[in-house]
Each structure stands twice: as C-alpha cells, then as structure tokens.
Amino acid sequence: MSSIKVVGGEQLKGELKIQGSKNAALPIIAATVLNKGITTLKNCPKILDVLHMIKILEELGCKTKWQGNTLFVDSSVITSPSVSEESVRKMRSSILYLGALLGRCHEVTIAYPGGCSIGKRPIDYHLNAMTKMNVTEEFLNDGEIIHCYTNEIVGNDIFLEFPSVGATQNVILAAALSQGTTRIFNAAREPEVTELCSYLQEAGARISGKGTAYIQVEGVKELHDVTFTLMPDRIVAGTYMTAIAATYGDAVLTDFPVGKLDAVIRILRKAGCSIETYENNVRVYCQKKLQPIEFIKTQPYPGFPTDMQSQMMTVLCLADGKSTIAEEIFESRYQNVEELRKMGAEISLESSENKAIITGVGRLHGTVVKSHDLRGGAALVVAGLAAEGTTIVQGATSIERGYEDICRDLSALGANIRYCSENAS
C-alpha cells in the first residue's frame, strides 16, 4: 500500500488532459465477451480496476494486449464462464460479467459481491431482472456463490425500483444477444450507461433510448468486431476542477467530457469559480473567496453525482460560511469527515438524514490522513493541496483504482506531490 505526500500552498496552473473513463471502461470490457472476435478499445485508462477486469477476461480464456492506452481483446474463446471469488471480492464491478457471460454462454458462476466502505451495495435488482429474463439462479456455499443458467435469454419488461447503473448495464448486457425485446423502465441515465449502449450499437446490437429512463434492447444473433474510443472520465475531470478551485488556481482541462458534468459546474460556479468551455476544453479559475452552498443533494444523473460528494465537501471546508450536503445514493459515504476533521475541518453529521453540515474554516492544516475509498482518497489529496504544510494520504492504492496517475496529473499543474512509502510521515 503506498501513500501520497502533498505539500500544500501551490495554486494550480497550466493545462492537463483528462484520462479515459473508468466507469465506461469496466462495463465495456465485460461486454467484449459478447463478441466472438476482436475488440479494440482506445483511450482506455491503465488503472487498477481496469487491470482487474482484464485479469478476469484472461481467467475466462480471452487474450488481451496493450498498445499505449489502446486495449485489444480477443474473446473468440471462452473456456469457462466462471469468475473467481478472489476476483469478485477484490472488485465488485466484476458483477458486470453476470449479464455478459449469460449473454455469451447462457451460464455463469460468480461469487456474491460483498459491500464496500461506502455501502452494502446489494445486487437484488440485477438478480430479479435476470430471473424475469428466463434465467435460473442457484445459490451455493451458503449464498456465497451464484450459479445462473438458461437455455435461452428471453426479453422481458424490467422495472427498476431505483435507476441503478450496474443493474441497467447488466440487463443490457444480457439482452443484447437474447430472444425478443427487453424494455427497461426507470433505467439509469449516467453517461457511462450511454457509452456502453454506443459500444454495443457499434458492435451490432439493437438498442434505442440510450441516455433516457426508458431503454429498449432487441436481441440479435451475434455481434461483430469493433474499434471504440472511450469518453473522458467525468469524475476525474470533476476532481481536478475541485483541486483548481481549492487552490484558487487557474488551469485548463483538455479532452474534457463537456456536457456531462453540468450539475458539478453549476455548483462550482455558485461557490465562486469561473468556468469557461470552448470546444472540448474547460478553463477553471477562482479568484474570489469560495462561497458556501446552502444545500447539495447527491442524485442519479443528471443530478449532482455521488462520486463528486467527497471532493465537493473538501472545497466547502474552505468556503466562507455554512454548507449542507445530503448523500442520497449510498448509506455510508462520509468516511472522509473524520479525516478532514484531523486537518482542522468543522463538519457535523446528522446521520438520521445522511446529512453533513460543513462550517468553512480559513485554512486546513496538513497531517497524516487515511483514504477509505477511491473518491474519498482523491478528496483528501485535494484537501492536502489547499492545506498549510504537508499532508500524507495513506492507503493511496485505493486512489489508483480510478486515477491513472494523480501525482503525475497534479504535478503537471504545479502541485508539490509525490508517492511515498506507506509509513511515511
């Protein structure tokens, strides 16, 4: 486990290109098993979660190769439709192989994904949908392992109680090569769901309604080879916007996912940032004291994204007044509060309503803090950039799950930041 050492006080300036999207890459890597051939994925981020999904592809019998940020997948042969317990435990997004392997092999054996630090993260919506699509589910080893099988996947109407990103993606993956038509009601509208649909359409799938709450998938016999370029990562982009804001910097982010972060841009402008877009570049600068935000609620897209909640909390710790955040998506996504308090932040929690009340302080001070999850860790790096003195963010491996190289990126904007050994202080 590595740590990250940040010496605060530098105003971020310059230009930085945004990496490819983790949450688009993961479902599309799973989707490659639907095609008995070659998929070429351009702008694919080299991050731990992607490397993990690739390891599972190879466990399944696929061949993969990197050329820079281009990933080649040969999924002509699937030797065994089973995903090891170890793989699922390490990364719950491997559950996306459920729909993909059912689509390809009409069978899958996969461990039941546990929760993580941000919540229990059940998969009932996923399993209920598969059952409605003519899939039989067996629970083995006291429910630790799920064995699903069918003689053919039959399209059906799927009503999601909540617009779950993963459940929407698994239904689409299972429906792509099915008999008949699947209609998803209350589908997730996140850009990463739209990106999965675009990839599958280019491979020959028949999908309509992508980006809306009603998606229709008409099953086809097979898919074909495709070369696809992944969209930039909107949460990485949003994270770096908060880093520029927190340091009162002035920088340009290129290859920016324009039009996919409007809720975050609206809030940052309300907090006092100037944000200008031209083509697919965005300039962020902040010359006046950061202002508090009376109330922010995390919501499904296009609302304020839960994956930006921790980073926004860091910014509001520096604002001139009181702000309130309500985390509506995950039940325990305030792990950072304790860490920010160590840096001098004033935050109180109303757990009954999953609310955090932040009273801005003039400066944070550097100290040793711990990353509990991917986005929380990135938010602590942002706090370190703005703090007086040096901050050590321990458990930085969690950040590498989604950020190709946060030290490389922020150093390019002038930050004094580097990886260091775990027990550095």
Whichever of 99 and 249 has its CB closer to ligand EPZ, that residue is 99
- Report the C-alpha gap between 184 and 130 in whole angstroms: 12
Q: Does 162 bind ligand EPZ (CB under 6 A)?
A: yes
Contact residue for ligand EPZ among 3, 19, 82, 164 (CB under 6 A): 164
For residues 16 to 55, the per-residue mask of contacts with ligand EPZ, x marking binding by CB under 6 A and - elsewhere, is ------xx--x-----------------------------
| Ranges assigned E (strand) in 291-399 | 296-297, 322-326, 346-350, 355-359, 368-370, 390-394
- Report the C-alpha gap between 133 and 206 in whole angstroms: 17
Whichever of 74 and 373 has its CB closer to ligand EPZ, that residue is 373
Strands 250-254 and 281-285: antiparallel
Beta bridge partners of 87: none
Is the CB of residue 284 less than 8 Å from the CB of residue 273? Answer: yes
Least separation, in Å, of the C-beta of 306 and ligand EPZ? 5
- Report the C-alpha gap between 123 and 167 in whole angstroms: 8
Contact residue for ligand EPZ among 11, 19, 35, 93 (CB under 6 A): 93
Residues numbered 292-321 forming contacts with ligand EPZ, rule: CB under 6 A: 306-307
Whichever of 26 and 133 has its CB closer to ligand EPZ, that residue is 26
Q: Measure CA of the first residue to CA of the last residue in the chain; give whole Å.
A: 14
Residue of this chain nearest to ligand EPZ (CB atom): 166
Give yes or no: 116 in active site. Answer: yes
Stretch that binds ligand EPZ, among 6-14, 75-83, 123-131, 411-419 (CB under 6 A): 123-131
Contact residue for ligand EPZ among 56, 165, 175, 393 (CB under 6 A): 165
For residues 192 to 211, the per-residue mask of contacts with ligand EPZ, x marking binding by CB under 6 A and - elsewhere, is x-------------------
Whichever of 56 and 374 has its CB closer to ligand EPZ, that residue is 374
What does the DSSP 8-state code read for residue 397?
Answer: H
Least separation, in Å, of the C-beta of 26 and ligand EPZ? 5
Whichever of 123 and 286 has its CB closer to ligand EPZ, that residue is 123
Residue 250: exposed, middle, or buried by beta-carbon count in 10 A (0-12, 13-18, 19+)? middle
Q: Is 15 left (phi over 0), alpha (psi -120 to 50) or beta?
A: beta
Q: Which two tokens stand for residue 200?
A: 């599958």
Order of strands across the sheet that contains 136-140: 82-83, 107-111, 145-149, 136-140
Neighbours of 247 (CB within 10 A): 24
Whichever of 5 and 22 has its CB closer to ligand EPZ, that residue is 22
Strands 206-208 and 214-218: antiparallel
Whichever of 88 and 251 has its CB closer to ligand EPZ, that residue is 88
Catalytic-labelled residue, pool 44, 62, 116, 197: 116
DSSP H or E run through 73: strand 70-74
Is the CB of residue 61 less than 8 Å from the CB of residue 73? Answer: no
C-alpha of 334 from chain center? 17
Residues numbered 339-378 forming contacts with ligand EPZ, rule: CB under 6 A: 374-375
Least separation, in Å, of the C-beta of 164 and ligand EPZ? 3
Beta bridge partners of 346: 359
Residues numbered 399-418 forming contacts with ligand EPZ, rule: CB under 6 A: 402
Interacting residues toward ligand EPZ by CB under 6 A: 22-23, 26, 93, 119, 121-126, 162, 164-167, 188, 190, 192, 306-307, 329-330, 374-375, 402
**Residues with catalytic function:** 116
